[in-house]
Structure 1
Amino acid sequence: MPHSSAVPSGACDTNESLESLVASLVDHHRLPHGDVKSGDITRPLSEMANEELAAIREGLLDEEECVRLDQLGEWLEQDMVRLKPLLEERRERQVSSWALAHPESRLCHEGRTLLVNAIGRDTAAPGGELPADPASDVAALLVGLEARGESALTRWALDRYLRLSGDYPQARLLSLFGTCHALSGARRALQRRPTPGQDPEHPARLAESMAECRHYLMLAERIAEFRFPPLVIAVGVSGSGKSRFTSGLVSRLGAIRVCSDAERRRLHDLPQDKAYPQAQAGSPAVDIFDEAATERTYRHLASCAGTLLDAGIPACVDATCLKRWQRDLLRQQAEARGLPCLVVSFEADEGTLRGRIEKRACLQGVEVAVSLALLDHQLVELEPFGDEERLHLVHLDTTANNAAETLVDLIEDHVRLV
């Protein structure tokens, strides 16, 4: 579907790539937020939504569409009430939109210009100049990409943003802000309708404008739709292929990966690119792999996964999960919510495991002997699956040629059967 906001592809020279844009968003949302206004936290968003709904209602001629629009309005009101405590809790995180600081930006991908202001946010929309939760910027980007049929990029952007920021609670707000931004898109489409009698191509342009409006309204309904997301727990020792194969779940199923490696470092305020903490100023290095640190990490992983499930987003925990208590802790996040859970055991013969680890150690400049010793330790520590776990368990041979497709099929089949 064509969009009048598109600009010539030649403008890509100074545009943002999606990877740099996501990193820029994370940095912007970490800036000092300045004075935080008091008052009803939902009022600006409610006023924005009501103005958008009123503008769209004036342009719709179909009675059925007006009824569906009213239903969207009711859902928004209910969701604001439901999420008001979380919005209030995050009040001090409010920040002016990234789009206001980058008005001339563009988002390019593979030579194509996808979005203006890079995140596609309408800064002229009602309340667009006011500080808001970072979820508003992220939702604008996701809506812009989804509206252009870029579902794979939408999923990659969200997975990347949450991994870099660690702001998983934000996920619960994305449907609320996303619905509002989709309504903004519908309103903009209606505003581009040609004036009757002044445009020889009026009927065709009118049909195009109305089609785009309905496209955004359908997207708003899809965002607001209640979902039953699955939880996938990836189990396996180093070299088993967990990270490689679970990365495919992001684009194929829209799952967000919660990685133990990234979250363990985040809990200890370590850079994501540093493998092990080093001693400084005569102080010993902190052992981020001791029993206490590991328990803290898995409890954090469980919390992050639960937050994603509450947001209606499929979650995939990428961790070794050697111990049964670790797997139980994670599985309970789905069971407590009545949601499907799948435990995937990523497996390969020992020769393949050692070969993969040796290759990875050489690429990373790590001692091969140390990496192999870690594998031996993990193989000893890996506890067998219990009877209750087997109800959710599937085994995946990661040496098979079709392992990636098999994993997706297993998850889809399991979700349909639960």
Structure 2
Amino acid sequence: MRHTLDVDRANSGESLELETLIDALVAYHRGAASHDAEAQDAGQPLTLTMTAELAEIREALWDEGERERLDQLGDWLKQDLTRLMPILEARAARRTPSWALGHSASRLCHDGRPLLVNAIGRDLEVPGAELADDPASDLAALLVGLEGRETPELTRLALDRYLRHSGDYEISRLLSLFGTCHALTAARRALRRCLDEKLGLEQPALLAESMAECRRYLELAERIAEFRFPPLIIAVGVSGSGKSRFTRELVTGLGAIRVSSEAERQRLVQADDSSAHPQGDFAPGVVGIFSEAATMATYRRLASCAGYLLDAGVPACVDATCLTRAQRDLLRQQAEARGLPCLLVNFEADDATLRRRIEKRAGRQGVAVEESLAVLAQQQQRFEPFGDEERLHLVHLDTTAGNAGELLADLVNEHVRLSG
């Protein structure tokens, strides 16, 4: 019911908090696909926008060095569009008009202050903005808008929540392409203020401020386009070990995006709804959410989602019990096949702490404590010790320590540094 109310609020044009906005975006992108757009060329909206923005910015730049950097960025955009065209074409059924077109009066607010207009900060006046496009364009507009407001924690939380709720991890592979284009749009808007006749050369301070903002967004476009070598973090541990709690801190602190076995296993229940997992990693007709078949399908899905994130240059954190070596190997291979660093983090706590946490969680969720404790006992019995090869990537984290969150961040940073 809360999700429905959130969508209704978004439609009303009022101020939205980030979680409400993300829930509304997910619902809209899942249910509003424009099948008429399948006949449209996959890259047409992006090409129209990109061409117009590059031409206008280049004409307004006076410095030849800046023009050369812009030309390089334009070359990268064209090459990346060609590289990603098969993905855009395969996702044709998901194209939809921008969420912002129907919510132009909405605003994204945080701590009582407005951050973005039409809630996702999308410019609706650029060529191609009225055409149906991949949901990645809306999501990238929001992320660029948040990054431009210098709110990196909100940017990371937005991406993490969108992917977790939509299940569309493949979209991450398109975000650098669309994000770079939206950053160019923001740079062009700043330039237009520079060229406004009312500003003129009589207000050099405002002129300098607008040019500085333009350059800031051009630098953001370059950072988005930059090739990165992200790590894969595999969170291992039984129920109550603290995986979910501490991996949430990796989102805001390090920009890692979580892939949760709980969320993806639950998505098995919706296996007849192709929009819930558009990549088709689940075999139809899987019986029993905790059956061996369901568990195998879940870990295949976790590996696939982690692979999408790594291909996108995004640090991935898989949150799962990972009781068997085969499960851990399946995940670890996603990083090793790409030549990327991988870290296995074994989340640990003494039996009394595990029981206390599980009893507290069971009371909060209204489930039988005895059943939850029985699940813990089964997990402890089934856990397979780490092998010699796994220990090369393994660290242990005592989640009862007062500084466990800081220790985890330090362990990840140190491992990435040594692997770089």
- Deviation per residue, 1:249-273 (Å, 9 max, x gap): 11111111000000011122189xx
Paired amino acid for 2:103 = H
Paired amino acid for 1:294 = T
Deviation beyond 3 Å, 4+ runs, structure 1: 194-201
Shift, 1:96, TM fit: 0.2
CA distance in 2, matches of 1:197, 1:299: 59
CA distance in 1, matches of 2:169, 2:198: 51
CA distance in 1, matches of 2:389, 2:296: 22
Q: Secondary structure in 1 aligned to 2:129?
A: coil
- Deviation per residue, 1:165-219 (Å, 9 max, x gap): 1011111000000000000000010011255687686101100110110010000
- Deviation per residue, 1:109-132 (Å, 9 max, x gap): 001100011100000012111111
Label 1:208 to 1:174 Cα distance change in 2 as closer, same or farther (>3 A).
Answer: same
CA distance in 1, matches of 2:198, 2:178: 37
> How do 1:262-273 residues align onto structure 2 when only pairs under 5 Å count?
262-269=263-270
Shift, 1:40, TM fit: 3.4
> How do 1:51-70 residues align onto structure 2 when only pairs under 5 Å count?
51-70=52-71
Aligned length: 394
For 2:14, the equivalent position in structure 1 comes to: 14
Paired amino acid for 1:144 = G
For 1:25, the equivalent position in structure 2 comes to: 25
- Output the TM-score relative to the length of structure 2: 0.91
Structure 2, unmatched stretches of 5+, are: 1-12, 273-285
For 1:243, the equivalent position in structure 2 comes to: 244
Q: Secondary structure in 1 aligned to 2:390?
A: helix
Select between 111-120 and 24-33 the one with higher mean Cα deviation.
Answer: 24-33
The RMSD of aligned alpha carbons is 1.8
Q: Secondary structure in 1 aligned to 2:108?
A: strand
* Residue identity (%): 67
For 1:274, the equivalent position in structure 2 comes to: none
Q: Secondary structure in 2 aligned to 1:268?
A: helix
Label 1:312 to 1:200 Cα distance change in 2 as closer, same or farther (>3 A).
Answer: closer
Q: Secondary structure in 2 aligned to 1:339?
A: coil
Q: Does structure 1 conserve the Cα–Cα contact (< 8 Å) formed by 2:268 and 2:289?
A: no
Label 1:52 to 1:198 Cα distance change in 2 as closer, same or farther (>3 A).
Answer: closer
Structure 1, unmatched stretches of 5+, are: 1-12, 272-284
Shift, 1:286, TM fit: 4.6
Question: Higher helix fraction: Structure 1 or Structure 2?
Answer: 2
Paired amino acid for 1:252 = G
Paired amino acid for 2:203 = H
Paired amino acid for 2:250 = L
CA distance in 1, matches of 2:194, 2:256: 38
Label 1:202 to 1:399 Cα distance change in 2 as closer, same or farther (>3 A).
Answer: same
Q: Does structure 2 conserve the Cα–Cα contact (< 8 Å) formed by 1:192 and 1:209?
A: yes
Q: Does structure 2 conserve the Cα–Cα contact (< 8 Å) formed by 1:195 and 1:202?
A: no
Shift, 1:44, TM fit: 3.0
- Deviation per residue, 1:76-127 (Å, 9 max, x gap): 0110110000000011111000000001111000011000111000000121
- Deviation per residue, 1:61-80 (Å, 9 max, x gap): 11111111001001001101
For 1:218, the equivalent position in structure 2 comes to: 219
> How do 1:254-403 residues align onto structure 2 when only pairs under 5 Å count?
254-269=255-270, 286-403=287-404
For 2:283, the equivalent position in structure 1 comes to: none
CA distance in 2, matches of 1:94, 1:104: 23
